[in-house]
Amino acid sequence: MPKNIYLDYAATTPVDERVVAAMEPYWTKEFGNPSSLYKLGQRAKHAIDNSRQTVADFFNCQPEEILFTAGGTASINLALKGLLGSYKEPMHIIISAIEHHAVLHTAEKLKKLGHEISVLPIDKDGLVNIKDLEAAIQDNTVLVSIMTANNEIGVVQDIQKLGNLIEKINKSRKNKIYFHTDACQAAGALDLNIQKLHVDLMTINGSKIYGPKGVGVLYIKKSTPLTALIDGGGQEKNLYSGTENVPSIVGLATALKLAYQDKEKNNKQLTKLRDWLIAEILNKIPKTRLNGHATKRLPNNVNISILDVEGEAMLLYLDEVGIQASTGSACTSTTLDPSHVIRALGCPYEVAHGSMRFSLGKDTTKQDLEYLMSQLPKIVAKLRKASPVNINMADIDKSVKLAARKIIKL
């Protein structure tokens, strides 16, 4: 029975048919350059304006505060480098230990340019402690960047609480602290009401919400000082020059609209499936461990470490039987480092090497997961027979308990 069960929605999603339909006119019919004076160009401009309004409505902000970019990474680079570029002296940035590489590597680049970077630890469930944030703030802190929901373990931070703290602290400070959140993974499932979140900058992208790849949004609160990274024709308020990707912008706005429309229904269904799969794996396969908080996590994220076996080997077997997933093992990363997220939880390397992420989608069915469970235990048993490793689970618990959770200066 040839099967193709995609369980890697956190990596990317297929574009929804309705989004494809909405984008269609803009390839060959309404292909105008939005900067052109004639009607063909103006129609394209209206399409962008409408999309901007749609996005602003869902974030509960002004359309002038919405910028379209080439994706999540582009938005993050603009937010971080663009903000720091507005200062003449070296300043201080705070990030969490589990940010996406777009934030981490941008922060590392900023450090090379002379700025200070503090990295907040997470607890054993993946959550940032508000006390650590407070302790890390210095006189020269100008930016805090903490992701709303993590791409690997799905853990959801209490952005509202953190935003409230920063707002309170800002009342009695010379250097205002700006708060950025990477909400790429969260956009499909969570309520991203800017007025509630108290953020100054927010990133989302199209490819995680059944929209097109190569397009993203950066929310920029009025009067947040950003310097453009890309110079050119002055589009997007001179902060992101370049002829606008009209079809993809329309696609992104449509995808966001659909996500919000179907959110409650999808979340309910996904949470049920997620919890079923987590319980199945933990109960049916011995020596397994859930990574990240059990409930403060995205409705579609399952990340479990299967000990004594290596992630890539499991992935290859799963691919052979038609299942696509991902792993936090070193062997599959471009940097040959194991998942920094699993390590930040306090888990030893073995737990990262055996970690498997199954991320569900709105079309994932119970039968899909039952098929996964008909294959996974066999695969694990076969690989375990071939493995000379026999990790003691108690040692892992001990390692997690004793892990040093300190604020680190990069």
Partner 1 sequence: MSKQNIAADIDIVPKGGDEDWAYTDEVKKHFFQPKNLIADAKSVKDYDGLGMVGSPACGDMMKVWIKVDKKEDKIKDMKWQTFGCGSAIAATSMLSVMVSEKGGILIDEALKIKAKDITERLHGLPIRKIHCSVLGDKALRSAINNYFIKSKQKDRFIKEQTRMIDKIAKVTDHDIEEAVLEGAHTLEAVQKKTKVGVGNPEVIPEVEQLIRFYQEKYFG
User: Among residues 298 and 314, whose Cβ is nearest to partner 1?
Assistant: 314
* Part of the chain binding partner 1 (CB under 8 A), chosen from 36-44, 62-70, 130-138, 304-312: 304-312
Instruction: Report in angstroms the alpha-carbon separations of 110 from 70, 76, 104, 105.
Output: 21, 13, 10, 9
Q: Which is nearer to partner 1, 245 or 305 (CB)?
A: 305
Candidate residues 16, 99, 152, 310; the one interacting with partner 1 per rule CB under 8 A: 310
- CA torsion, ordered 253, 255, 259, 261, to nearest 10 deg: 70
The number of residues that bind partner 1 (CB under 8 A) is 27
Does 295 sit near partner 1 (CB under 8 A)?
no
Assess 200 for contact with partner 1 (CB under 8 A): no
Q: Examine residue 397 and tell whether it contacts partner 1 (CB under 8 A).
A: no
* Nearer residue to partner 1 within complex by CB, 316 or 408: 316
Choose, by CB under 8 A, the member of 313, 325, 341, 369 that binds partner 1.
313
Q: Which phi-psi region, left, alpha or beta, contains residue 210 (left: φ > 0; alpha: ψ -120 to 50)?
A: left
338 binds partner 1 (CB under 8 A): yes
Stretch that binds partner 1, among 64-72, 80-88, 287-295, 310-318 (CB under 8 A): 310-318
* Burial 31-68, CB ≥16 within 10 A → b, else e: ebebeeeeeebebbbebbeebbebbbebbebeeebbbb
Q: Is residue 1 near partner 1 by the rule CB under 8 A?
A: no
Q: Residue type at 38? A: Y
Contact pick of 308, 358, 359, 372 for partner 1 (by CB under 8 A): 308
* Active-site hit among 61, 184, 331, 347: 331
Closest CB to partner 1 among residues 265, 382 = 382
Query: Is residue 330 at the binding interface for partner 1, with CB under 8 A as the rule?
Result: yes
Asked if 28 interacts with partner 1 (CB under 8 A), we say no
135 interacts with partner 1 by CB under 8 A = no
Residue 221 CB neighbours (<10 A): 16
Task: Tell me how far apart the alpha carbons of residues 194 and 2 are, in angstroms, rounded to a whole number.
Answer: 45
Binding of residue 120 to partner 1 (CB under 8 A): no
Residue 329 neighbours by CB under 8 Å, 6+ apart: 310, 311, 312, 338, 339, 352, 353, 354, 355
The answer to the question of residue 336 lying near partner 1 (CB under 8 A) is: yes
- Could you tell me whether strands 301-306 and 355-359 are parallel, antiparallel, or unpaired per DSSP bridges? antiparallel
CB 5 within 8 A of CB 322: yes
347 has catalytic annotation:
no
What phi and psi, each to the nearest 5 degrees, are found at residue 107? -60, -40
> Rule CB under 8 A: is residue 309 a binding residue for partner 1?
yes
Q: Give the x-and-dash track for 369-388 against partner 1 (CB under 8 A).
A: ----------------xxxx
229-248 residues in contact with partner 1 (CB under 8 A) are none
**For partner 1, which residue of 64, 320, 363, 370 counts as binding (CB under 8 A)?**
320
For residue 312, give the amino acid letter: E
The yes or no reply on residue 144 touching partner 1 (CB under 8 A) is no
Total residues belonging to the chain: 410
Contacts within 8 Å (CB) and 24+ apart, 31-39: 31/246, 33/243, 34/235, 34/243, 34/244, 34/246, 35/233, 35/235, 35/243
User: Residues 117, 111: contact at Cβ < 8 Å?
Assistant: yes
How many whole angstroms separate alpha carbon 361 and alpha carbon 395?
35
Contacting positions for partner 1 (CB under 8 A) = 308-313, 316-317, 320, 329-332, 334-336, 338, 348-350, 353, 385-389, 391
Q: So which residues are the catalytic ones?
A: 331
